[in-house]
Amino acid sequence: MTAIPATTVANLRDLGGTPLAGGRTVRSGLVFRAGALDRYDPGGDPGVAALGIRTVVDLRTNAERAERPDRLPDGARLVVADALADAVSADGAPAVAAQLRHVLADPVTAEQRLGRGRAQELFAETYRGLVSSPSARAAYRTLLLELGAEDAGPLLFHCTAGKDRTGWGTTVVLSLLGAEASAIEREYLSVNGAVRQAFAPLIEGFTAQGGDPEIALAVIGVVPEYLTAALEEVSLRYGSMEEYVREGLGVGDEVVERVRGRVVG
């Protein structure tokens, strides 16, 4: 669990070093998480270029990718895995996790849609959907298949901020590798500082226009309750993370063992 200094890629982290059962750890240099790569500049970030990333799994929606397309590291291939393709909130709007910049552009609309605790409810709803919706299950199946591919190299997966869709993907991967619940939650919450820093101008603009700071923090940050909503959905529908992966994602034990064999040190 190492933050990697970068000026053009937000919230970049190596899952390497995460403690696992039996005193083992995740190997470094193989699995990375981040925010979007739309600002990536190899000249400005030689350290990122040196990671040797060969596969980038983009969990964003079509609209997000069209607005801010990835800039890939040299030699990397892009795999699109839209986790929110079929996600619509109870109010009929697209999932708020896919609209961070747009939601905070208008304080009045944000208050109407997200005020009085509604932001937290919508994010919990989104997290439950990351477990149960067909598009999310297909996306996380793709992530695990890419990690378990015979010729897999260093892989980076991301969404826009690298906190929700990416956070759940990280939880799934670390759970399968044998990380304890405390280590998983610690990694999940560890991104808050980097995300708030990356979105600081957006937050400042929102509050300067009279936006509620609590709404901004609920949208930009992550809290244990969001992760709990997803884990409870796993328990309700599948009973365990292993059954969620096997039954919900359709990923067989052979793939899981290949991932463990590659990534567990």
**Is 59:157 a contact under the CB 8 Å cutoff?**
yes
Q: Does residue 265 register a pLDDT over 60?
A: yes
Pair 53, 154: CB distance under 8 Å: yes
Window from 148-152, 153-157, 210-214, 243-247 with minimum mean pLDDT: 210-214
Residues 113-135 have a mean pLDDT of 89
**Other Cβ atoms closer than 10 A to 66:** 9
Where does the pLDDT of residue 217 fall: very low under 50, low under 70, confident under 90, or very high at 90 and above? Answer: confident
- What was the pLDDT predicted at 78? 98
Instruction: Answer whether 74's CB lies under 8 Å from 51's CB.
Output: no
**CATH number for 223:** 3.90.190.10
Question: What pLDDT is stored for residue 93 in this prediction?
Answer: 55
Confidence of residue 54 (pLDDT cuts 50, 70, 90): very high
Percentage of the chain exceeding pLDDT 90: 72
| Statement: residue 146 has pLDDT above 70 | yes
- State the pLDDT at residue 15: 98
Tokens found for residue 114:
């997200």
What's the chain's average pLDDT?
91
First-to-last CA distance in the chain? Answer: 14
Q: What percent of the chain has pLDDT over 70?
A: 95
Note the pTM of the prediction, 2 decimals. Answer: 0.93
**pLDDT value, residue 97:** 64
List beta partners, residue 88.
94
Domain count, the chain: 1
Binned at pLDDT 50, 70 and 90, residue 92 comes out as very low
The encoded tokens of residue 37 equal 């790569």
Q: Which domain range does residue 171 map to? A: 2-263
Please say whether the dihedral angle defined by the alpha carbons of residues 10, 16, 18 and 20, taken in this order, is positive or negative.
positive
Q: Taking 60 as the threshold, does the pLDDT of residue 254 lie above it?
A: yes
